[in-house]
């Protein structure tokens, strides 16, 4: 985050402008600092180049101990409000979303290695990313891109190669701190924010393109989050989301989701190891059934359930499939969108659908223009 970019943000409590009170630079980037709202005096910390913006009533549910320690060490205790050092145990599903994905991304950190991202045909490679996002990547040149729910940075990595002027990433979990690791050359054009995208601090009309890939289904109030995504985008800008589809997803909607009532009674590390079983089955079924049949006759193979999805996963190593199964099973909030709901969502937000595609049979990619 650069000093000059603070003007792109406002206070999430009252909407007031923010002023940089204290800061420490490394080169021209704010390494750590303290922002203060000029209207209500609420303070927000920046640590390790990441601005932390949570509503005051939930701040301590999201903060991890290492963040509290760092905030105190840098002398920004006013950002902890009146609860210095206090940590609340939360049962809120959105807080669980943040914690679970923080843990998942730390366990599967190696899947965001540059080598894998640079492999065009790997699951994290550019070919699939373009399918998910559904926008011509050459449009990113010179633009400000807002990425909601950026995970550990796969979209940011790929989009940074297409010469955007700036990328702003809003992510609820601690994986936001890892996003810069693969793109040191892009650091000065990157703004990282740890926040809930339904309540993020980026001002209205900031981005030319806003993207939320594989994530809106995990946001408690996805309607509010989508509205915010549209508001963050300039007039004539583009908004792209890629979400779970309800259609063609019987196994998820009728088997996995109902089973979660029981599975989620167990701690996360057990859920992780439970995910090995479907992962082994899927890995074998793809290699022993889907791939051989598709080599013999694609017409016959297409009649198999989830054919497109399985062929997409056939490009993945076992570790990727394990991570995918864990991702699907642990998610504390998962919503499956019907086509009609997405059409309705775009109507409600006054945007025009440019593309609505059932990607790999199990996802919807919706690209809209803000008219
Ligand atoms: C399935 S991961 C996808 C990450 C990334 N977009 C990708 O495709 O690699 C979902 C991400 O959404 C984030 N997320 C979920 N709810 C969020 C919210 N309300 N605000 C911001 N991020 C959120 C999670 O922490 C997680 O990193
Ligand atoms: Zn304020």
For 210-268, what is each residue's pLDDT tens digit? 999 999 999 999 999 999 999 999 999 999 999 999 999 999 999 999 999 999 999 99
The pLDDT value given to residue 202 = 98
Binning pLDDT at 50, 70 and 90, where does residue 84 land? very low
Indicate which ligand has the atom closest to the C-alpha of 36: 2
- Write the burial class of residue 267 (CB in 10 Å: 0-12 exposed, 13-18 middle, 19+ buried): exposed
Q: Is the dihedral of CA 199, 205, 206, 209 positive or negative?
A: positive
Indicate which ligand has the atom closest to the C-alpha of 17: 2
The pLDDT value given to residue 90 = 66
Per-residue pLDDT tens digits for 277-314: 999 999 999 999 999 999 999 999 999 999 999 999 99
Binning pLDDT at 50, 70 and 90, where does residue 367 land? very high
Tell me how far the alpha carbon of residue 228 lies from the centroid of ligand 1, in angstroms: 15
The pLDDT value given to residue 221 = 96
Structural tokens at position 134: 């559904």
Tell me how far the alpha carbon of residue 222 lies from the centroid of ligand 2, in angstroms: 24
Per-residue pLDDT tens digits for 167-178: 999 999 999 999
CA geometry: angle 89, 91, 97, nearest 5 deg: 100
Q: What is the mean pLDDT of residues 100-108?
A: 97
Task: Round to whole Å and give the CA distance between 237 and 21.
Answer: 33
> Do β-strands 233-244 and 363-370 pair in parallel, antiparallel, or remain unpaired?
antiparallel
Q: What is the mean pLDDT of residues 111-126?
A: 94
Tell me how far the alpha carbon of residue 224 lies from the centroid of ligand 2, in angstroms: 20
Mean pLDDT in the chain?
A: 95
Our mutation pick for probing the ligand 1 site, out of 58, 92, 99, 101, counting the most ligand atoms within 8 A of Cβ, is 101
Q: What is the mean pLDDT of residues 150-178?
A: 98
Tell me how far the alpha carbon of residue 94 lies from the centroid of ligand 1, in angstroms: 11
Q: What is the mean pLDDT of residues 82-102?
A: 78
Segments of the chain assigned E as strands: 18-26, 29-37, 43-47, 50-53, 144-148, 166-171, 190-195, 207-213, 233-244, 351-359, 363-370
Structural tokens at position 51: 């601005």
Ligand 1 near 198 CB (within 6 A)? yes
Q: Report which protein residue has its CA nearest ligand 1's atom 13.
A: 149
The pLDDT value given to residue 89 = 62
Our mutation pick for probing the ligand 1 site, out of 172, 177, 312, counting the most ligand atoms within 8 A of Cβ, is 172
Our mutation pick for probing the ligand 1 site, out of 218, 228, 333, 359, counting the most ligand atoms within 8 A of Cβ, is 218
Ligand 1 near 174 CB (within 6 A)? no
The pLDDT value given to residue 85 = 47
């Amino acid at each position: 985050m650069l000093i000059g970019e603070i003007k792109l943000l406002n206070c999430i409590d009252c909407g007031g402008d923010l002023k940089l009170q204290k800061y420490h630079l490394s080169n021209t980037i704010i390494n750590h600092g303290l922002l203060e709202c000029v209207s209500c005096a609420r303070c927000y910390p920046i640590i390790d180049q990441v601005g932390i913006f949570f509503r005051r009533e939930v701040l301590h549910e999201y903060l991890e101990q290492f963040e509290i320690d760092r905030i105190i060490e840098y002398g920004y205790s006013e950002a902890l409000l009146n609860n210095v050092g206090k940590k609340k145990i939360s049962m809120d599903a959105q807080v669980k979303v943040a914690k679970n994905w923080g843990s998942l991304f730390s366990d599967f950190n190696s899947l965001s290695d540059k080598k894998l991202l640079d492999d065009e045909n790997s699951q994290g490679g550019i070919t699939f990313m373009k399918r998910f996002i559904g926008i011509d990547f050459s449009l990113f040149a010179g633009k400000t891109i807002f990425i909601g729910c950026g995970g550990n940075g796969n979209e940011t990595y790929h989009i940074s190669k297409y010469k955007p002027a700036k990328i702003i990433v809003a992510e609820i979990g601690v994986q936001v701190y890892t996003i810069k690791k693969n793109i040191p050359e892009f650091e000065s054009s990157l703004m990282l924010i740890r926040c809930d995208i339904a309540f993020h601090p980026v001002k209205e009309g900031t981005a030319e393109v806003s993207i939320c890939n594989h994530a809106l289904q995990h946001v408690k109030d996805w309607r509010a989050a989508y509205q915010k995504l549209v508001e963050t985008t300039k007039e004539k800008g583009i908004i792209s989301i890629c979400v779970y589809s309800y259609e063609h997803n019987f196994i998820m909607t009728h088997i996995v989701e109902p089973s979660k009532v029981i599975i989620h009674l167990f701690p996360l590390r057990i859920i992780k190891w439970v995910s090995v079983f479907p992962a082994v089955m899927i890995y074998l079924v793809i290699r022993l059934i889907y791939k051989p049949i598709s080599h013999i006759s694609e017409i016959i193979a297409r009649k198999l359930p989830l054919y497109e999805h399985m062929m997409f996963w056939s490009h993945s190593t076992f570790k990727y499939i394990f991570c995918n199964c864990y991702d699907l099973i642990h998610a504390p909030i998962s919503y499956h969108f019907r086509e009609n709901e997405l059409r309705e969502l775009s109507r409600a937000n006054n945007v025009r659908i440019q593309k609505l595609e059932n990607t790999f049979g199990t996802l919807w990619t919706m690209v809209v223009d803000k008219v």
